[in-house]
Amino acid sequence: MFKLAWKNLFHDRVRLAVTLVGIVFALVLILVQFGLFLSFLDTSANIVERSGADLWITAPKVPYVNGGPPLSEANRWKALAVEGVERVDRYILAWVPWKLKSGAIESVQVVGYNLDSGLGGPWNVVAGSVEDLRGEDTVMVDEIYKDLLGVTHIGQVFEISNRRARIVGFTRGIRSFTTAPFVFCSFKNAQNYGAGNLREDQAVYLLVKGKAGIALEALRAAVQAKVPELDVLTNAEMHGRTQTHWVFATGAGITTLMGAVLGLIVGVVVVAQTIYAATVDHIREFGTLKAMGASNGRIYEVILAQAAISGGMGYAVAIAIAAFIARGSEGGNAPIALPPEVAAGTLLLALAMCMGASVISIRKATRIDPAMVFRG
Amino acid sequence: MIEIRDLYKTYGSGGAEVHALAGVDLDVAAGEVLMLMGPSGSGKTTLLSVMGCILRATSGSVKIEGREVARMAENKLPEVRLKHFGFIFQGFNLFPALTARENVELALKLKGLKGTRAKAEAAALLEQVGLADKLNAFPSDLSGGQKQRVAIARALAGEPPIVLADEPTAALDSQSGLTVMEILTGLARKRGRAVVVVTHDNRVLQYADRIVRIADGRVVDEEDRERAA
């Protein structure tokens, strides 16, 4: 029966091409839309996800990571007093003005972190070294934002809040969700840039690292008890809170999510119609098979095999196109994520959509009016 | 071989009832060529469908080689069709994606024959209908008469005792039509098959052992071979 399915498909190559175009279009649409959404999710809270911290101490009800009122350093000492806490680092993430060579101003987000622990620091450093950030007025930016910030090479000097900022390295792929790029530097330098308008003894966040093997929830509760007037969140909670803010509290998130959902709906409809039409094209042959004594099960086999072959072939083409688009988008402002889980999930989705759509036509094929089979 | 008694096939219900078959009694014997004739809408194809276990009767009895099939469960009917019947259609109904041999092979595979045995048997059946040189031809490369001969070879796959043919010569020229009928008659005479042919084609009546005329779902006349001649 598989042979019949295969031959049925390849006998009419124009029909097969039309079927595959429909499936490929639908799958690429789904992959790109979900890729954009996943990338959106990742970008919205990447700084938290990669922070390496176990807990975040913030001012109450801070909705997302990209801001918040200052915290007194006294809270750091309170947290350090909790058993099971290995270290507590001050952390700054705040908007400051970046002056380009042309004199124009760009807004950037200075990320000031403790160079000794590396908590909340940059990752994927492709030029220079984080050790170079120990120097006075030194910063590191991402390659993606070179053009935006007017940066061409290491050693260039710019101004942040009217204070010099020397480029000592580049990262790759650390996007900011907002239009303001991240600029990594030491906590001290960030203070000097006036980030968050902090006093000497203040920070925007406190990042807590627990001792190895410590139970996270117990640690969170213990730290919270020491600083009851503040919020103590696990890294996952902070990550979720930030993502939720950007996804649901901003139009951008809903739009991207809707795009992904619409992509899925349109994809399902296109595939369903395409597969249905392809199956109905062979309805007379299924009727003949039935008249010859094939059980409904044998007819299902042919129809499902046709759907699976179409789905598999469509997927192979679609994933190649989506990978090409994703690769092309890597350096742009709207990257498309294509993790293996999504690729695998889309294969299952493609097969499910194709076979699901064919089930509709199976009903038609197995309830054929016999007069149709005998009609000339 | 086939015994049909008081057979009804009714569509619709209440005032909208239509009797496609209304009390048909009919026997078909092994080795007999029976032709069903009648105007369009008279119930010939419905009778052929019920006889071939494709369509279920509303009431009455249909026995195939002594086995009652009229009240058989729906899911048992494909097995009966597979074991007892070969079908020949007016429009040939060949699978366009398959070669002549593959079309016949498909029927053999449905009947459980596999691999090289199925290939060899398909070739032998096509040889019997004079198409030994067309094994690898696709239906689109064959004439109408050749397609119908492939369809006959397919109907003979697995040696079914009964062959049901619906207007097998309607789409053929005179010569091809006669060739097809000679093959079908040969099946009945030499191999003892029961052959039931629905036809409008007066040219082929000479091949009938019996002609049954149907109108409004009823058998209205029967002629044996001598009388028809």
Strand locations in A172-307 (E): 182-186, 202-203, 205-210, 231-234
pLDDT at A76: 93
Strand locations in chain A (E): 55-58, 71-72, 85-99, 105-113, 125-128, 138-142, 157-160, 163-171, 182-186, 202-203, 205-210, 231-234
Q: Which amino acid, one-letter code, is at A83?
A: E
Least Cα separation, residue B54 to chain A (angstroms): 6
Report which DSSP code applies to B58: S
Q: Which two tokens stand for residue A359?
A: 């089930």
What is the β-pairing status of strands A202-203 and A71-72? Answer: antiparallel
pLDDT at A64: 74
What is the β-pairing status of strands B218-224 and B210-215? Answer: antiparallel
Q: What is the largest CA-CA distance in chain A?
A: 93
Q: Is residue B68 one of the residues assigned to a domain?
A: no
Q: Delimit the domains of chain A by residue range.
A: 2-43+251-374, 60-229
Where residue B224 sits, what CATH number does that domain have?
Answer: 3.40.50.300
Least Cα separation, residue A315 to chain B (angstroms): 24
Confidence of residue A372 (pLDDT cuts 50, 70, 90): low
Domain residues for B115?
29-57+73-228
Mark yes or no for CB contact A10/B96 under 8 Å: no
User: Which of B94, B106, B148, B162 to mutate to test binding with chain A, by most A CBs within 10 Å of its CB?
Assistant: B106
pLDDT at B179: 86
pLDDT at A19: 83
Confidence of residue A254 (pLDDT cuts 50, 70, 90): confident
Q: Which amino acid, one-letter code, is at A61?
A: K
Find out whether A279 and A358 touch, Cβ atoms under 8 Å. yes
Distance CA A57, CA A230 (A): 7
pLDDT at A370: 52
CB atoms within 10 A of CB A342: 19
The tokens 């429909």 sit on which residue?
A: A22
Q: Is residue B46 one of the residues assigned to a domain?
A: yes
pLDDT at A139 over 90: yes
pLDDT below 70 — which residues of chain B? 225-229
Find out whether B70 and B62 touch, Cβ atoms under 8 Å. yes
Task: Give A294's contacts in chain B (Cβ within 8 Å).
Answer: 78, 82, 110
Report which DSSP code applies to A156: -
Average pLDDT of chain A to the nearest whole number: 87
Instruction: For A287, name the nearest residue in chain B, comparing CA atoms only.
Output: B93
Q: Please indicate if any CB of chain B lies within 8 Å of the CB of A367.
A: no
Report which DSSP code applies to A103: S
Task: Report, as an integer, the average pLDDT of A307-333.
Answer: 89
- CA nearest neighbour of B195 among B211, B174, B179: B211
In B, what residues contact A, Cβ < 8 A?
45-46, 48-49, 52, 54-55, 75, 78-83, 85, 87, 89-91, 93, 95-98, 102, 106-107, 110-111, 154, 166-167, 170-171
pLDDT at A18: 87
pLDDT at A13: 87
Distance CA A77, CA A68 (A): 20
Q: Is residue B8 one of the residues assigned to a domain?
A: no
pLDDT tens profile A91-133: 998 889 999 888 899 999 999 999 999 999 999 999 999 999 9
Distance CA A239, CA A245 (A): 10
Distance CA B9, CA B18 (A): 8
pLDDT at A198 over 90: no
pLDDT tens profile A3-38: 888 888 888 888 889 888 988 988 898 899 888 888
pLDDT at A256: 76
Distances, alpha carbon A346 to alpha carbons A33, A254, A264, A312, B115, in Å: 12, 22, 10, 11, 36
**What radius of gyration, in Å, describes the C-alpha atoms of chain A?**
28
pLDDT at A375: 62
Q: Is residue B62 one of the residues assigned to a domain?
A: no
Q: Is residue B12 one of the residues assigned to a domain?
A: no
